[in-house]
Amino acid sequence: MNTTRIKFQKVGLAIYFSHLDLQKVMQRALKKSGLPVWYSKGFNPHIYMTFTLPLSLGQESLCESFDFRLNEELTEAEILKAMEGTLPQGIILTGAGAPDYEAKEIKYALYKITLYGDREALKKAMADYEAAEKVTVIKQSKKTSKEVNLKSEIRNLQLTGEEEDSVTFTALFPAGIDYNLNPALLVEYFRNNYGIDANATDYLRQNLLNEKLEILQ
C-alpha cells in the first residue's frame, strides 16, 4: 500500500460544502476515478481518508489536502488524469503524490481576509485593533469555552488593500492538530465592537506554515 496525498483548492461555490460533505465528495470521486484505492477490511469496507487540516464552512482555501492509500504505485500524472471530471465546481486538484510533511508540523495558517462596509470605519477598526495591547474574546468549543487574547495569538497582521467599500488584510492564525484559532473570531470582535457585518466577509486560507514560519508545500 502506498499512502498518497491529493492537494486541492476549495473555492467559489465549494465553500458551502461542510467537512462531512467534502468527505463524501472525495469518496465518490475516488470511486468514480477507477484508481486502485485501498479499502478497509471488515463488515463495511470503506476508503480510509485523512484530511490534513479541515477547513471551516464558508471559507476558501488554496492549500487543502487529504491522504488515502493506493494498492499500486502511480505517478502524479496518472492519479490526476484518473480524477479528471470526478469533482464538482470549486474543487480544483493541484497535486498528488507521497505526503511531504506530517499534519503535526502545521502550526499556523496564513489567511487573506476582506471586510466589507464603509472604508473609513473599517480602517478605524483595524487601527484600533493594532493599537490595543490586549483584545479578549471567548473561544467556544463543543465542550468548553475559553478566554483568549487575540493580540498574543494572531501574528503578522498587515493591511494589504482597500477599496471604497472594503479593506483586505493578511494574518497568521494558530492552526494544527493541537490548537486552532478560527479567523472568524477576529471578525466577530470587529462586529461586536464596530458594527461590521460579519456575514459580509471573505476568508481565503493561502498557506500552511510550520513553527519556523516556513511554508509547507
Q: Which domains does the chain have, with CATH numbers?
A: 2-100 (3.30.70.580), 104-209 (3.30.70.60)
Q: What is the DSSP letter of 45?
A: -
pLDDT at site 141: 78
pLDDT at site 96: 96
pLDDT at site 182: 95
CB contact set of 143 (below 8 Å; sequence gap of 6+): none
Sign of the torsion formed by the C-alpha atoms of 84, 94, 159 and 107: positive
- With cut-offs at 50, 70 and 90, classify the pLDDT of residue 62: very high
46-72: average pLDDT: 94
Residue 140 predicted with pLDDT over 90 = no
Residue 1 predicted with pLDDT over 80 = no
Q: What is the mean pLDDT of the chain?
A: 93
pLDDT at site 160: 94
179-201: average pLDDT: 90
Phi/psi zone of residue 153: left (φ > 0), alpha (ψ -120 to 50 degrees), beta? alpha
How much of the chain, in percent, has pLDDT values that exceed 70? 99
Burial 165-196 (b: 16+ CB within 10 A, else e): ebbbbbbbbbbbeeebbbbbbbbbbbbeebeb
pLDDT at site 199: 76
- With cut-offs at 50, 70 and 90, classify the pLDDT of residue 200: confident
Rounded Cα–Cα distance for residues 36 and 99 (Å): 18
